[in-house]
């Protein structure tokens, strides 16, 4: 039976507005077009902000106000508990007031007498019932008042937010009493701001806003909406499409699916580090504009106006919520990392990422910090919670758009302040400037997909579409980066694998481009990236090559001729890789990371393999091989302290005359990646060695390494030759292929064919005595060429701190931080010295706690003098170089030969 | 509709009476003299007036204090009842906000509580009048008659002013001033006969002149008042009640919104 029926009820107040110059009377509609039906025995909660018309509605229902329009029908006796203790006379005793109050409620004296004892018992005032009410505490007053009201036993009871008074025990008592009344089949309408109470008492609730009924439904659905709607009007906005509803409120996003609230607590929000304080996106003044029905722009400015956040939210026709965030702050504020959080209902019980999944443990309320469940999905850009059909919660997939910056995703179990499941992306800011003011920004583009259906399948789709997996490892290509996975773990870190190139004088990183990835068959993945304002497309083609290898071809689709100055491939491997290797050399990384990128550990051949491995064998060795191409070489480095990774870098610097690339497809890199599970690189083979006394010379790949008692005296390029042609240097290490010849005892011979210049070179090294070696480098032109300079060098360990020569001596300075082929010349003997007598050397080094021998170097070309010099290499090579430099005849005909002879002598 | 109103009012008659009694109780709660103040107050005022008129203005009249008291006491009831009833909705607004009882209950019970107070006063004064003038006894029914009419008259004005006061707060203040003026143009300290012929119309226009003349004729002079006074009293009472109730019900629905 319908007890209360309101049809199109309007209620008006006339309000006098007084301003300085005039007074205006205006109509204020406290209720507008309100329709409401309440059945017998129902407990209806009425919620809304202050001034939304709740009390007016009760007064209308109580018959205290007549609606200005519309119709109200209430069957049976109505009692309103609108103002607790109204009508109490302070001077009178509790007993007298009970009689009076009950009368005011419309009870006749006999009835009151009958119920008197019940009222007194419920109020529980003891002797105070006979004391004047003015002596009562606030709680006693409220108890008595409530007790009277509740014992009136009306057919319809209207309660206006009066239960807030009194202690908890009394509130519970009231709630019990209300339930009791309810059980007797009475109808109750309850206005309250106490959502706990509301949830306990009501099954149905209505939400009023500005006098309108905006929602009528089950309590658990109306209450969350209300709590999210609260707040100033200009900072609230709602988007809706199909079953999905997104409410934006003051720097927070709340998501509803079929009126079911999926988010909990602060919902979707951003937290970031400003200086040393954490700031939440809700700590700002927000201005929300609805751009269209399905699009909303919100701008939040901090109270001090120091930072600005812009959010744009849009629900796409397929139901995806695009959530773009940009955060900008003055650089002086020190904007640190930012976290984009989506705090979800704790009813979600399992999480999924493309590569892993797991259950959420029960929230531990004791623990204030969240519990990180998955932090390994770095770069995956896809987090999800699995659907819960029992709780009718759909799956939520939170992705970062492909073109976004690199982020670190986490799945967290949060216990505090509200239990929930957090999908989180951690992003780092970038620096820039705006109108001359240095600004720091963070940007993030999120994609939230909500819907029934397994999240695992969606995330798997995401994974599959960017993934190429073999037996030993997999690669995932997204957003201009490639991540390498072993069987168990991610092998790369930080920026993972990416490219950067210098086109027309500007550097472009693959992470800054917009990428499209498409999978073409099960063993082929193609990614195409475009930069803004650049008329070319970088194309990455990945092809599976057996069980543990991939080819990676990087090429450029050029639309308009461009200058390509340099192209880099950079792979940042996890710091657990402690050792590196290349074709024939192995070594370990320095133990500590320092503030800058560490020195080059190895510079490799133009065709070769570099890689990292973990001697413990926990991680598979990763190797990348690159094809011989002009100007392509590789470096192995240690990253700086902040990135903490091992860098494998392949660099292509095209020759000057090949830098202008015509339109069309231009292949740049051909790389092959290998995963070598549990296998370490074999011991490198020494092509040839020469030993005399404690001195040993190992010759391989165009360099000769010096050792005494197994301790290396040389480093890096060691003994090598270099030749400058047309302004470019070519060296025996990176620009030549070498062959080793069988040679008589005590003599080492090898022959190298140079790649870029028509030159063949023959090295002949022999022992003079137990501490000295003689070398002869014969350079032969195989075609006419015009060399500018010829050098023979020996690069020695940086632990040598002093140099000396036949005329002078000195101390090595710090390495200069320049990326230049012209290294710092410290001293040189120019033409006019006696080649037989002149020498340069290094001394004062300690190797493994002992003093290393000094190394003396002398050289001459065809018996003619050149320049003997002591050189400090650049900061990347970090070596002491003893150099003989010679200006040969400017034109070499075919068959021309230049012979340089020199000696390397160890001294104590 | 008026029937509904009256039925509703009747349903709440217990509250109406209860409130009147309790208001009376509240009025004297905590005071040592209690209900006897209902007597002291008019006596004191009467003594003041008598002092001024006999000692200063040298008025010579037999039993002058009784003469003044017979006018003063009804006047005092009228003033106090009306001024409290006028403000009743503001002073008891929480009752208005909470309960759905007929609104006229409030001013009516307020007037009633003053009337009870008034009657208690008479319990002391009537023997006094009887003592000085035994002829009053057979006229007692006239005293009851005029008192009831006086109650109706005051209640009517109470209804009227209580509702008007909510809409126009000046009424309360104006009323205080009007009462001062009104007392002097009402034959409280003097009899209507003393008014010069040319100004008698004031008495005709003044409802209080009728009531006080009636009271004084009955209690002091021990005579039946003129027919004119009878008519005056009856008409004023009914007029006041009709007018008051009419206006009250006309504006009552707006009441809650204007407090």
Distance between CA atoms of residues B114 and B20, nearest Å: 8
Higher-confidence position of B190 and A469: B190
Q: At what angle do helices B227-251 and B140-167 cross, to 10 degrees?
A: 30
The answer to whether A315 and A330 are in contact (CB under 8 A) is no
How crowded is residue A324: how many other Cβ atoms within 10 Å of its Cβ?
17
Closest partner CB to B101 (pick from A91, A106, A132): A106
Please give the structure tokens belonging to residue A346: 């704790």
pLDDT (tens digit, 9 = 90+) per residue, A758-771? 888 999 898 888 88
Model confidence band, residue A377 (pLDDT cutoffs 50, 70, 90): very low
What's the mean per-residue pLDDT of chain A? Answer: 81
The rounded distance, in Å, linking the Cα atoms of A898 and A892 is 10
Rounded-to-integer distance, Cα A174 and Cα A193, Å: 15
In angstroms, the separation between the Cα of residue A42 and the nearest Cα of chain B is 22
* pLDDT beyond 60 at A193: yes
Q: Give pLDDT tens digits for B47-99.
A: 888 888 888 887 778 888 888 889 989 999 999 999 999 999 998 888 888 88
Among A98, A118, A84, smallest CA distance to A192 is for: A84
Element (H, E) at B229: helix B227-251
Average pLDDT over residues A784-797: 89
Are residues B256 and A108, on separate chains, in Cβ contact within 8 Å? no
How many angstroms separate the first and last alpha carbons of chain B? Answer: 25
Grade residue A166 by pLDDT with cuts at 50, 70 and 90: low
Contacts of A92 in chain B (CB under 8 A): 22, 25-26, 29
Test B25 with A78 for CB contact under 8 angstroms. no
**Strand pairing category for A335-344 and A420-427:** antiparallel
Residue A84: per-residue pLDDT: 75
User: In A, which residues are within 8 Å of B26 by CB distance?
Assistant: 89, 91-92
Q: pLDDT at residue A870 above 70?
A: yes
**pLDDT exceeds cutoff 90 at A387:** no
So what's the pLDDT on residue A803?
92
pLDDT tops 60 at residue A678: no
Pairing of the two strands A867-872 and A824-829: antiparallel
Q: What is the 3-state secondary structure (H, E, C) of A135-147?
A: HCCHHHHHHHHHH
Q: Is the full-model pTM beyond 0.95?
A: no
Q: Whose CA is closest to A793, among A775, A767, A817? A: A775
In the predicted structure, residue A863 carries a pLDDT above the cut 70: no
Pairing of strands A646-652, A562-573: antiparallel
Residue A556 confidence class, pLDDT cut points 50, 70, 90:
very high
What local confidence, expressed as pLDDT, does residue A228 receive? 63
Of the partner residues A62, A91, A132, the one whose CB lies closest to the CB of residue B100: A62
Q: Which segment of A327-341, A434-448, A672-686, B213-227 scores lowest on mean pLDDT?
A: A672-686
**Binary contact (A92, B26; C-beta < 8 A):** yes
Q: What residues contact residue B201 under an 8 Å CB cut-off, 6+ apart?
A: none
B18 min Cα distance to partner chain A (Å): 7
Instruction: With CB atoms and an 8 Å threshold, state whether A109 touches B100.
Output: no
Range of the domain at B17: 2-258
Of A831 and A634, the one with more pLDDT: A634
Per-residue confidence at A179, pLDDT binned at 50, 70, 90? confident
Q: Are A218 and A203 in contact (CB under 8 A)?
A: yes
Q: Which residues of A touch B (CB under 8 A)?
A: 13-14, 59, 62-66, 78, 80-83, 85-87, 89, 91-92, 96, 99-100, 103-106, 108-109, 132
Collect all residues of chain B within an 8 Å Cβ-Cβ radius of residue A63: 100
3-state SS of A844-884?
A: CCEECCEECCEEEEEEEECCECCEEEEEECECCCCCEEEEE
Start-to-end CA span in chain A (Å): 112
> Which residues of chain B are within 8 Å of residue A81 when distances are taken between CB atoms?
98
Q: What is the pLDDT of residue A682?
A: 46
Specify whether the CB–CB gap between A253 and A237 falls below 8 A: no
pLDDT(A751) > 50: yes
- Does A417 sit behind a cis peptide bond, omega within 30 degrees of 0 on the bond before it? yes
- Return all residues near A349 (Cβ < 8 A) that are at least 6 apart: A359, A360, A386, A388
Looking at per-residue confidence, does A325 or A878 come out higher?
A: A325
CB–CB of A92 and B99 under 8 A?
Answer: no
Q: Out of A1-10, A636-645, A676-685, which region has the weakest mean confidence (pLDDT)?
A: A676-685
Which residues, listed in sequence order, are joined to residue A69 by a DSSP beta bridge?
A10
B162 contacts B91 by C-beta, under 8 angstroms: no
Residue of chain B whose Cα is closest to the Cα of A64: B100
The pLDDT tens digits for A13-49 are 888 888 887 888 888 888 988 899 999 888 899 988 8
What per-residue confidence (pLDDT) applies to A849?
67
A844 pLDDT more than 50: yes
Query: Is any Cβ of chain A less than 8 angstroms from the Cβ of B4?
Result: no
For each of the domains in chain A, give its residue range(s) and CATH number, in order of start. Answer: 2-222 (3.40.50.300), 231-460 (2.70.98.10), 470-676 (2.70.98.10), 688-907 (2.70.98.10)
pLDDT tens track for A303-353 = 888 888 999 988 888 888 889 888 888 877 788 888 999 998 888 888 887
Closest-approach residue (CA) in chain A for B101: A104
What is the predicted pLDDT for the residue at B97?
A: 82
Which chain B residues are closer than 8 Å to A87 by Cβ? Answer: 92, 94-95, 98-99
Chain A CB contacts of B18 below 8 Å = 99-100, 103, 109
* B12 token code pair: 């709440």
Which residues of chain A does B14 touch, with a Cβ-Cβ cutoff of 8 Å?
103, 108-109
For residue B22, list chain A residues with Cβ-Cβ distance below 8 A. 89, 92, 96, 100
Whole-number Å distance between alpha carbons of A556 and A859:
46
> How far apart are alpha carbons A560 and A646 in whole angstroms?
36
Q: A457-499 pLDDT, tens per residue?
A: 666 666 666 777 777 777 888 777 888 877 767 788 777 899 9
How far apart are the CA of B17 and the nearest CA of chain A, in angstroms?
A: 10
- Please say whether the beta carbons of A278 and A484 come within 8 A: no
Interface test with A, best of B18, B91, B94, B98 (most A CBs within 10 A): B98
Helix (H) / strand (E) containing A779: strand A772-781
Enter the DSSP assignment of A50.
T
Instruction: Identify the pLDDT of residue B257.
Output: 80
Please determine, for residue A599, whether its predicted confidence score (pLDDT) is greater than 60. Answer: no
Sheet holding A586-588, edge to edge: A514-519, A524-530, A536-544, A549-558, A664-676, A621-626, A608-613, A579-582, A586-588
Which residues from A are below 8 Å from B10, CB to CB?
Answer: none
Which residue in the set A91, A99, A106 is minimally distant from B26, CB to CB? Answer: A91
Listed by number, the residues of chain B in 22-41 with a beta carbon closer than 8 Å to a beta carbon of chain A are 22-23, 25-26, 29-30
Task: Look at residue A635 and tell me whether its pLDDT is greater than 50.
Answer: yes
B100 in contact with A, Cβ within 8 Å: yes
Q: Give yes or no for residue A684 having a pLDDT over 50.
A: no
pLDDT at B85: 94
How many CB atoms sit inside 10 A of residue A785's CB?
17
Cross-chain Cβ contact B26/A89 below 8 Å: yes
Q: Which residues pair with A719 in a beta bridge?
A: A704, A794
* Distances, alpha carbon A412 to alpha carbons A371, A373, A385, A696, in Å: 5, 5, 11, 58
Contacts of B97 in chain A (CB under 8 A): 59, 64, 82-83, 86
Cα angle vertex A528, ends A523, A532, to 5°?
Answer: 165
Which of B15, B29, B100 is facing A103, going by the closest CB pair? B15
Chain A contact present for B60, CB below 8 A: no
CB contact under 8 A, B18 and A132: no
The alpha-carbon gap from A121 to the nearest alpha carbon of chain B, in Å, equals: 23
Share of chain A above pLDDT 90, in %: 7
Phi and psi at residue A37, to the nearest 5°: -130, 130
- Consecutive H or E run containing A457: helix A455-465
Minimum-distance CB partner of B14 among A65, A82, A109: A109
**DSSP helix/strand/coil, A52:** coil
In chain B, the residue whose alpha carbon lies closest to the alpha carbon of A81 is B98
Q: What is the ipTM of this complex?
A: 0.85
Across A269-277, average pLDDT = 87
pLDDT tens digits, B29-49 = 777 777 777 788 888 888 888
Helix (H/G/I), strand (E/B), else coil: A569: strand
Radius of gyration over every alpha carbon of chain B, rounded to an integer in angstroms: 19
Instruction: Provide the pLDDT confidence category of residue A219 given band limits of 50, 70 and 90.
Output: confident
Question: Which residue from B minimizes the CA distance to A60?
Answer: B100
CB contact under 8 A, B18 and A100: yes
Q: DSSP states of A69-108 as a string?
A: EEEEEE-S-EEEE-STTTT--TTSBHHHHHHHHHHHTT--
H-assigned helices in A300-409? none
DSSP state, residue A746 = T
Residues 6+ apart with CB under 8 A from A788: A724, A725, A726, A727, A887, A890
Q: Is the pLDDT of residue A63 over 60?
A: yes
Question: Which whole number is the average pLDDT over A405-431?
Answer: 78
Q: How many domains does chain B have?
A: 1
Q: State both tokens at A435.
A: 């109108």
């Amino acid at each position: 039976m319908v007890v209360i029926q309101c049809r199109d009820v309007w209620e008006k107040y006339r309000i006098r507005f007084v301003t300085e110059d005039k007074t205006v009377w205006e109509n204020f509609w406290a209720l507008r077009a309100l329709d409401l039906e309440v059945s017998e025995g129902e407990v209806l909660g009425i919620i809304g902000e202050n001034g939304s018309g709740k009390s007016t509605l009760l007064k209308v229902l109580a018959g205290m106000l007549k609606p200005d329009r519309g119709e109200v029908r209430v069957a049976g006796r109505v009692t309103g508990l609108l103002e607790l203790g109204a009508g109490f006379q302070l001077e009178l005793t509790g007993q007298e007031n009970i009689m009076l109050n009950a009368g005011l409620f419309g009870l006749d004296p006999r009835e009151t007498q009958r119920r008197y004892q019940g009222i007194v018992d419920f109020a529980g005032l003891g002797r105070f019932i006979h004391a004047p009410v003015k002596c009562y505490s606030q709680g006693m007053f409220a108890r008595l008042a409530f007790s009277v009201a509740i014992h009136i036993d009306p057919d319809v009871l209207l309660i206006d937010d009066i239960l807030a008074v009194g202690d908890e025990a009394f509130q519970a008592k009231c709630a019990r009493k209300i339930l009791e009344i309810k059980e007797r089949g009475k109808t109750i309408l309850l206005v309250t701001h106490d959502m706990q109470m509301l949830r306990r008492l009501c099954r149905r609730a209505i939400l009023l806003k500005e006098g309108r009924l905006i929602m009528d439904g089950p309590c658990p659905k109306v209450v969350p909406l209300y709590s999210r709607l609260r707040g100033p009007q200009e900072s609230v906005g709602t988007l809706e499409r199909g079953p999905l509803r997104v409410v934006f409120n003051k720097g927070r996003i709340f998501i509803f699916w079929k009126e079911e609230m999926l988010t909990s607590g602060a919902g979707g929000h951003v937290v970031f580090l400003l200086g040393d304080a954490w700031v939440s996106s809700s700590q700002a003044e927000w201005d929300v504009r609805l751009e269209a029905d399905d699009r909303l722009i919100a701008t939040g400015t901090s109270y001090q106006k120091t930072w600005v956040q812009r959010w744009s939210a849009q629900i796409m026709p397929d139901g995806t919520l695009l959530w773009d965030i940009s955060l900008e702050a003055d650089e002086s504020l020190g904007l640190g990392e930012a976290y984009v959080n989506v705090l979800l209902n704790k009813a979600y019980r399992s999480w999924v990422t493309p590569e892993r999944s797991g259950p959420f443990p029960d929230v531990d309320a004791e623990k204030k910090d969240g519990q990180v469940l998955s932090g390994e999905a770095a770069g995956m850009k896809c987090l999800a919670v699995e659907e819960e059909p029992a709780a009718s919660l759909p799956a939520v997939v939170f992705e970062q758009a492909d073109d976004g910056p690199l982020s670190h995703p986490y799945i967290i179990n949060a216990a505090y302040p509200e239990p929930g499941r957090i999908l989180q992306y951690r992003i780092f800011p970038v620096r820039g400037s705006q109108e001359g003011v240095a600004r720091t920004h963070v940007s993030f583009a999120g994609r939230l997909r909500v819907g029934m259906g397994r999240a695992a399948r969606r995330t798997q789709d995401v994974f599959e579409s960017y993934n190429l997996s073999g037996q030993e490892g997999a690669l995932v290509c997204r957003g201009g980066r490639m991540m390498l996975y072993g069987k168990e773990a991610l092998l790369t870190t930080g920026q993972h694998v990416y490219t950067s190139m210098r086109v027309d004088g500007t550097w472009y990183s693959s992470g800054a481009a917009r990428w499209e990835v498409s999978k073409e068959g099960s063993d082929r993945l193609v990614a195409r990236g475009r930069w803004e304002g650049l008329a070319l497309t970088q194309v990455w083609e990945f092809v599976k090559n057996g069980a543990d290898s991939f080819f990676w071809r990087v090429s450029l689709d050029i639309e308009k001729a461009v200058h390509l100055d340099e192209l880099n491939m950079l792979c940042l491997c996890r710091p657990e890789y402690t050792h590196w290797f290349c074709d024939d050399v192995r070594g370990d990384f320095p133990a500590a990371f320092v503030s800058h990128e560490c020195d080059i550990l190895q510079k490799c051949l133009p065709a070769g393999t570099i890689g990292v491995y973990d001697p413990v064998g926990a991680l598979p060795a990763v190797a990348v091989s690159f094809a011989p191409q002009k100007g392509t070489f590789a470096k192995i480095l240690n990253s700086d302290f902040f990135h903490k990774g091992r860098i494998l870098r392949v660099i292509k610097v095209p020759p000057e005359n090949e830098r202008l690339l015509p339109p069309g497809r231009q292949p740049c890199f051909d790389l092959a990646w290998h995963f070598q599970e549990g296998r370490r690189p074999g011991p490198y083979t020494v092509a040839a060695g020469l030993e005399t006394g404690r001195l040993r010379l190992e010759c391989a790949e165009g360099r000769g390494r010096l050792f005494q008692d197994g301790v290396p005296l040389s480093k890096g390029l060691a003994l090598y030759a270099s030749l400058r042609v047309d302004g470019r240097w070519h060296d025996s290490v990176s620009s030549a292929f070498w062959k080793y010849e069988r040679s008589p005892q005590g003599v080492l011979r090898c022959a190298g064919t140079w790649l870029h210049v028509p030159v063949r070179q023959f090295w002949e090294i022999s022992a003079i005595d137990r501490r000295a070696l003689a070398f002869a480098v014969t350079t032969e032109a195989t075609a006419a060429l015009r060399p500018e300079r010829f050098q023979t060098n020996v690069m020695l360990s940086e632990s040598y701190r002093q140099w000396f020569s036949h005329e002078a001596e000195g101390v090595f300075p710090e390495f200069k931080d320049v990326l230049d082929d012209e290294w710092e010349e410290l001293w040189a003997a120019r033409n006019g010295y006696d080649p037989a007598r002149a020498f340069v050397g290094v001394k004062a080094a300690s190797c493994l706690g002992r003093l290393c021998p000094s190394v003396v170097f002398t050289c001459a070309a065809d018996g003619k003098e050149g320049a003997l010099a002591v050189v400090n290499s650049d900061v990347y090579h970090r070596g002491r170089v003893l150099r003989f430099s010679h200006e040969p005849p400017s034109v070499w005909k075919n068959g021309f030969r230049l012979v340089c002879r020199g000696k390397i002598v160890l001294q104590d | 509709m008026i029937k509904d109103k009256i039925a509703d009012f009747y349903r709440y008659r217990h509250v109406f009476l209860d409130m009147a009694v309790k208001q009376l109780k509240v009025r004297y709660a905590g005071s040592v003299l209690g209900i006897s103040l209902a007597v002291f107050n008019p006596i004191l005022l009467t003594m003041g007036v008598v002092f001024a008129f006999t000692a200063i203005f040298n008025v010579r009249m037999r039993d002058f204090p009784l003469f003044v008291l017979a006018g003063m006491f009804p006047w005092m009831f009228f003033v106090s009842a009306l001024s409290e009833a006028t403000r009743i909705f503001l002073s008891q607004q929480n009752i208005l906000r909470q309960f759905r009882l007929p609104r006229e209950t409030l001013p009516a019970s307020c007037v009633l509580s003053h009337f009870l107070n008034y009657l208690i006063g008479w319990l002391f004064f009537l023997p006094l009048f009887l003592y000085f003038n035994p002829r009053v006894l057979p006229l007692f029914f006239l005293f009851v008659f005029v008192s009831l009419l006086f109650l109706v008259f005051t209640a009517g004005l109470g209804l009227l002013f209580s509702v008007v006061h909510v809409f126009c707060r000046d009424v309360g203040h104006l009323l205080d001033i009007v009462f001062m003026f009104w007392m002097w143009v009402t034959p409280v300290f003097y009899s209507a006969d003393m008014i010069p012929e040319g100004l008698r119309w004031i008495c005709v226009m003044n409802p209080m002149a009728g009531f006080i003349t009636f009271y004084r004729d009955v209690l002091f002079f021990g005579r039946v008042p003129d027919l004119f006074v009878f008519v005056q009293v009856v008409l004023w009472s009914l007029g006041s009640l009709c007018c008051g109730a009419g206006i009250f019900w006309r504006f009552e629905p707006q009441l809650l919104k204007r407090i």
